[in-house]
Structure 1
Amino acid sequence: MIPTLSTLPALAAFVALVAAAWGLNVAALDGGIASLPWLIREQGLYLSGLLAIGLMSLAMVLATRPTVLERPLGGMDRIFRLHKWAGILAAVFAALHWLIEMSDDVIKSLYGKAGKPAHDEFGGLYEMLRDAGEELGEFAIYLVLAMVVLSLWKRFPYKFWRHLHRAMPVFYLLLAFHAAVLAPPDYWTQPVGVLLALLLAAGTVASVIALTGRIGHDRKVQGVVTAVSSPAPDVTEIVCRLDGAWRGHQAGQFAFVGLERFEGSHPFTIASADHGDRSLTFQIKALGDYTRQLASRVAVGQAVTVEGPYGRFVLGRQDHKARQIWIAGGIGVTPFLAWLDALRADPAAAPTVELHYSTRGAAHDPFVERLRSLCAELPSVSLHIHDRAAGDDLTPERLATTATDGQRAEVWFCGPRGFGDQLKAGLARLWGRRLSFRREAFEMR
């Protein structure tokens, strides 16, 4: 598993920034009497430590759901993805940092102790803080590595992982203390120290926000459940009406929905357009323990907390000069339901669109009739239902047969990750630079 291409530039730029700050410090070194093996070990220890705590600081800041970064990063879904990979890379560099620290005996056996940098002795309270920072840092590294392993192990239940993940800010604060007291004293008068201080300050503030339950606080609105139904055995439809603090949403955005105090909030796409009445509809598929039991645990009149809206997979961002192809797979149809609902307000202004919906069984799929009803009011939207139970699979080749020569195609996709990867790779091969493939990168772990 590797980070997607849209995530790589941001991570590469951040790593390059930290490495450049470290490099400026290295360039100013005179080397002293340190031999090359010991010098490489020492600077490798510093660089790996800087990258680990820097990436972890980035992950902590992104965990606070900063809406100011949605536009430059492409939406909250991509912020989640960047958060995930920053955390993974932080763990990789933390493990490398630990391995370099443990290489002391290996270098001694190969090159001897000659040229080993002297251990600085500071004495007093500062020395005690450094000793404590070293012990706490090693302990925290083990915990962070364990947490990353559990995050990547998809079979580990989400309901347990979610509660364990709440401890990450505590682990971060331990590692921040470790970095602050063990950083070379001369760092604090150089660019590398300024950068480190900024990262530690940002990560610490983000940790405090997380530990005090303030993430998304300014975007949380109270409301009440007004309707609950099950259009299909594995789908629960919930309609909520929110209070006056709701700022409205764009068709295609999502929100965090909290229905039970101790369960916490879960992200769901808003399946309805904003009609100005503060009413939201969610179509929730049974994909886990919580969502499977949702229909029996939610009742009309129940209080609900909604945090949002978030996301940039919204109607209105389309390239009107390109051929529009919208593709939904399974429950990925929800943002398109909101798009179609919004277009009904002015059918004449609706773009010319090919909407493809792939389903396991059209005969029992509640969204098929809903799509047909919505598209019947929108003459410019041509609906194509692909029933896999009848052998009607949607493939890149089928889409490419209807392409207009030389015209750019903009594909908007929401659905299973594997399905999206297959379509993107196939269409890129067939259409090359004429293809623009946009998708919702919705993963919470």
Structure 2
Amino acid sequence: MIPLLSAFLAVLTLAWGVNAVSLDASQTTLPWLIREQGLYLSGLLSIGLMSLAMVLATRPVILERPLGGMDRIFRVHKWAGILAAVFAALHWLIEMSDDLIKAVYGRAGRPPKMEFGSVYEALRDAGEALGEFAIYVVLAMIVLSLWKRFPYKFWRLLHRAMPALYLVLAFHAAVLAPPDYWSQPVGVLLAVLLAAGVVAAVITLSGRIGHDRRVHGVVTAVSSPAADITEVVCRLGGEWRGHRAGQFAFVSFVGLDHLEGAHPFTIASADHGDRLLSFQIKALGDHTRRVAHQVQVGQAVTVEGPYGRFVLERRNRKARQIWVAGGIGVTPFLAWLDELRANTEPASCAATPVDLHYGTRSAAQDPFVGRLQALCAALPAVRLHIHDSATGARLTADTLASTQSDGGHTEVWFCGPPSLGDQLKAGLKQLWRRRVRFHREAFEMR
């Protein structure tokens, strides 16, 4: 994520710099020149990042492979939006700095005001006024997005206004960009970004995101293996294109709080060609708590997907395998084990030794412990390790390292709480240096 965003910002800055070095600034003093170019650069970076965020919001499947999966796309989308708001705030502060510069350095050396036709001048005035209002709203929405206690369903409604705000800001950028930009590389780049962002905004506003990957189906079974876990099995229509073990999908149960919209859930079963999908849904919020009480057999469901590259086939068969699940993060591994068990080819049936570690708060009350034991019993190459916090058995990097004695290359696949993943990754990097590759699920909806 960091290299991608850094490269994106570098390209934008380079394009701005090519234009800036060719300017004739002989009649402009340094404070005013810094303000003017700072205003242009911060605005370019902000609208560029917003355009990137808009494009990524459409869930472009074509980018899953180069970016590492839809979960990574969500993460880049989130941070592109946050950085766009930061540069928008900087843009606004620079705009407000003219009074300070006048007070300290005076009006001398201020860039002359460009004259435009009456129509264009009216468009610029409208763009400036609308842009300032939109920036205030965007900053407020970013704050609410980072405030995790703000209810998801209300955040989602506010978030749906972002495409409209983007269109306002795109208009602001187009009419207020320096006229000489449009004959320079920076103008070409800006035009491409604005065009892509506008198309993405229209797709979003029209409800077309993921439209070609939506399949209707029906709920065939609902059960509660634990008080806070609901297992839902769905049968989808014939247009379902199948999935790979470990992928996720956006699920919408008809009649279940339309304000929430579709939620992403990992598909907890392998693809057996029967279009049956199993979801293990943990009660983590209002919507997921209602699933246990309101979803019934025969209820209509819409599934969009599949997405993600946290899939069994991507594992390196030549590397030692450590799979780590924390809590509901066990779901992709349930699908992995299900696929391995269903595979009748001996050479494919987990020939590479695997250590599967599962961390739970209470093994005695955890419904996944027995299921993991049953699945692993049919897979001799998979060694199951249960880490029960109730008995003091903590899941740590040292614990994972203790199951591997030789010095070969190791591949770790992790799905669970982000803080636990950070601790394990840092600990294993310190213990094994460059001999470990750490894969993890990274998607968050906000």
Question: What TM-score do you get using the length of structure 2 for normalisation?
Answer: 0.97
1:334 aligns to 2:328 (yes or no): no
User: Structure 2 residue aligned with 1:287, among 258, 277, 284?
Assistant: 284
Task: Tell me the CA shift for residue 31 of structure 1.
Answer: 1.1
Quick one: which of 218, 224, 229 aligns to 1:235? 229
Q: In the aligned structure 2, how far is the partner of 1:356 from the partner of 1:218? A: 37
Q: Would you say 1:187 and 2:181 are equivalent positions? A: yes
- Matches of 1:352 and 1:74, distance apart in 2: 25
State which of 114, 132, 137 in structure 1 corresponds to 2:131.
137
Partner of 1:266: 263
User: Residue in 2 aligned with 1:308?
Assistant: 305
Q: Aligned partners of 1:245 and 1:374: how far apart in 2?
A: 30
Measure how far apart 1:27 and its partner are.
1.4
Is the Cα–Cα contact under 8 Å of residues 355 and 403 in structure 2 kept in the other structure? no
Determine which of 76, 97, 103 is the counterpart of 2:97: 103
1:276 aligns with 2:277: no
Q: How far off its partner does 1:397 sit?
A: 1.1
Determine if the alignment matches structure 1 residue 38 to structure 2 residue 38: no
* Pairwise CA distance, 1:45: 0.2
Task: Tell me the distance in 2 between the aligned counterparts of 1:56 and 1:307.
Answer: 25
Matched residues, percent identical?
74
Residue 23 of structure 1 corresponds to 17
**CA distance in 2 between partners of 1:43 and 1:26 (Å):** 7
> What is the Cα deviation at residue 292 of structure 1?
1.0
Q: Deviations over 1:337-358 (max 9, x none)?
A: 0000000123632131000000
1:64 corresponds to: 58
Task: Measure, in 2, the Cα distance between the counterparts of 1:99 and 1:428.
Answer: 41
What's the CA shift for 1:16? 0.3
Deviation readout 1:43-84 (Å, 9 max, x if unpaired):
000000000000000000000000000000000000000000
1:217 is aligned to 2:217 = no
- In the aligned structure 2, how far is the partner of 1:48 from the partner of 1:214? 31
Residue aligning to 1:403? 404
Structure 1: how far apart are the matches of 2:232 and 2:401? 37
- Kept in 1, the 8 Å contact 2:216–2:303? The answer is yes
Q: Following the alignment from structure 1 to structure 2, what is the Cα–Cα distance between the partners of residues 376 and 232?
A: 22
Distance in structure 2 (CA, Å) of the matches to 1:136 and 1:307: 35
2:413 & 2:363 partners in 1: Cα distance? 21
What corresponds to 1:320 in structure 2?
317
Residues 284-307 of structure 1: CA distance to partner in whole angstroms, max 9, x if unpaired?
A: 000001101111110100100000
1:390 aligns with 2:384: no
| Cα distance in 1 between the residues matched to 2:436 and 2:273 | 35
1:221-245 CA-partner distances (Å, limit 9, x unpaired): 0000000010000000000000011
What is residue 3 of structure 1 aligned with on the other side? none
2:7 corresponds to 1:13:
yes
Listed one character per residue, the Cα deviations across residues 200-224 of structure 1 (whole Å, up to 9, x for unaligned) are 0000000000000000001000000
Q: Give the whole-Å Cα distance in 2 for the aligned partners of 1:116 and 1:286.
A: 60
Q: Which residue of 1 aligns with 2:443?
A: 442
CA distance in 2, matches of 1:346, 1:175: 53
**Structure 1 residue 171: Cα displacement:** 0.6
Tell me the residue number matched to 1:82. 76
Could you say what secondary structure the match of 2:175 adopts?
helix
Q: Which amino acid in structure 1 is aligned with residue 341 of structure 2?
A: R
Partner amino acid for 1:29? L
> Quick one: distance in 2 between partners of 1:161 and 1:242?
30
Offset, 1:405: 3.0
Displacement of 1:335 in angstroms is: 0.1
Structure 2 counterpart of 1:285, which letter?
K
Q: What letter matches 2:201 in structure 1?
A: S
Query: Secondary structure in 2 aligned to 1:386?
Result: strand
Alignment partner, residue 122 of structure 1: 116
SS in 2 for 1:146: helix
Unaligned ranges ≥5, structure 1: 1-6
Q: Which amino acid aligns with 2:120?
A: Y
TM-score by length of 1: 0.98
- Supply the AA of the counterpart residue of 1:408: H
Identify which of 141, 145, 161 aligns with 1:167. Answer: 161
Counterpart CA distance in 1 for 2:30 and 2:400 is: 59
The separation in 1 between residues aligned to 2:368 and 2:320, in whole angstroms, is 24
Unaligned runs of 5+ in 2: none
Q: Tell me how far apart the structure 2 counterparts of residues 59 and 431 of structure 1 sit (CA, whole Å).
A: 36
